[in-house]
Structure 1
């Protein structure tokens, strides 16, 4: 375990306790000696961590202390890299570029040992052999969701039946080989799911729909165990 990782783990352990924890217990949790623990606590205090206590009495992290925003565990780094690689492979061109760019920004400010973990992680995202040409549509759909704009949709369901819908898009689901637009459908007067590969054409309207997307998303989450229709 790197020292950076150990310091992060120490902060996380202290954060999980409301009352002082003995140095012996902290050292045991981290599998280090008491001398190393005391040095680590002193280092964190020098860096601004509000840790109160002393040997023999125990230590407690005072409320209000925030971790530096770019301190990650090795598993968190693996999750970031794997997620970014997945998005880069399955997202549209703009989203893929954003994922790679964000990872580069994180790498630029990480401590050297964590940067090495980011550069050398061996978790890979496999290719999507069924990837469709989505670079044009998905950025426009994401923008409509962000701006809470209505969309007029020409859609063809799984049986080949065509329909026109006025929808209020509020989420976009990325599955292994399918992208699903989640929206309130004015025709059906309920939340519906529209596969992006079945969208024939669409037009984004300039006016906003009358409800907040956060409210729609909350309602969808409450019924997602029931609503299984994918049109």
Structure 2
């Protein structure tokens, strides 16, 4: 344990202590000599202005009247926290397709400065932390910032929207409710004033976004969850049915650890296969996930979902029969 971590550990020990702590105990917990304990205590008291009372013989502690108000100056992290911050810094710098990079550049600079301050001359092996974005979409940074600002400032929002399913372009005026990050992409949950209903918009399909002067209409959180949060995935609407899917014993090792839905139910079958039951409102996204497992997955119920899966597999097979 280096001096930096000893000072941090010493602060935490004294801050949590209800009674004076002996030097012998500090030696044991900090893993250092008696002289080192005295030097660290003196540095904490004299340089960092910690409210230390007592002496080495009777034990030391923080002044009870001051301990609740005292914090170490600056940001102090132990090695585990520092390593976690290092990984977060890499995630920040390498993911997101650049949409957050400029907005969060000041934060990233502070993280890098903090890492350098506590590197003690070492060169961090940054190449050991890898971040590989998967199927992210290109976002217009201006539109993304405008959408986020409207959500937080509770202002109505106007934008041009091109639906991915129909490629139809429409103008929308909405009261933004919340912004949702799902599967490496961003979605806007909003009250659509022209259609008088809740809708979800893929932010990468939003263009010419501008915040309006009017205050947004707030929809109750419970209503948002009922309409937008209870169905499978990002698709809105209450669940219409419950799917039963059986995965091979090989695929079970992955599926058993996956979170598909907040109300899913899973169990291993006697032969090692895995049965997953979950509610869904729109079959399209559910089938995309099921078909990802190919022959290792079989839709059992409901019959309509099973027929849709068969149709999709037959259509895919026909592409290879020419």
TM-score, normalization by structure 2: 0.54
Partner of 2:214: 207
Deviation at 1:11, TM superposition (A): 0.9
Q: Deviations over 1:115-168 (max 9, x none)?
A: 6568445652422141211133322222223322222464758x7698967233
1:32-71 matched pairs, under 5 angstroms: 32-47=32-47, 48-61=49-62, 62-71=67-76
2: CA distance, partners of 1:125 / 1:35: 42
Higher RCO, 1 vs 2 (CA within 8 Å, ≥6 residues apart): 1
Contact 2:20-2:61 at 8 Å conserved across structures: yes
Partner of 1:76: 81
Deviation at 1:37, TM superposition (A): 1.5
1: CA distance, partners of 2:113 / 2:88: 18
1: CA distance, partners of 2:183 / 2:80: 22
Partner of 2:156: 150
Q: Secondary structure at the match of 2:174?
A: strand
Contact 1:81-1:118 at 8 Å conserved across structures: no
Partner of 1:20: 20
> If you compute each CA radius of gyration, which structure gives the higher value, 1 or 2?
2
Q: Secondary structure at the match of 1:68?
A: coil
Q: 1:90 aligns with which of 89, 95, 101?
A: 95
Contact 1:168-1:183 at 8 Å conserved across structures: yes
- CA 1:118–1:167 in 2, change beyond 3 Å: closer, same or farther? farther
Q: Which runs of 5+ in 1 are unaligned?
A: none
- CA 1:14–1:170 in 2, change beyond 3 Å: closer, same or farther? farther
Contact 2:146-2:210 at 8 Å conserved across structures: no
Contact 1:84-1:100 at 8 Å conserved across structures: no
Partner of 2:271: none
2: CA distance, partners of 1:72 / 1:188: 47
2: CA distance, partners of 1:56 / 1:145: 59
1:127-138 matched pairs, under 5 angstroms: 127-136=132-141, 137-138=143-144
Q: Which runs of 5+ in 2 are unaligned?
A: 236-322
- Larger displacement relative to structure 2 (114-123 or 40-49): 114-123
Indicate the RMSD between aligned Cα atoms, in angstroms. Answer: 3.8
Contact 1:88-1:99 at 8 Å conserved across structures: no
Matched, 1:166 2:174: yes
Number of aligned residues: 220
- Larger displacement relative to structure 2 (62-71 or 114-123): 114-123
Partner of 1:227: 229
Partner of 1:8: 8
Q: Secondary structure at the match of 1:95?
A: coil
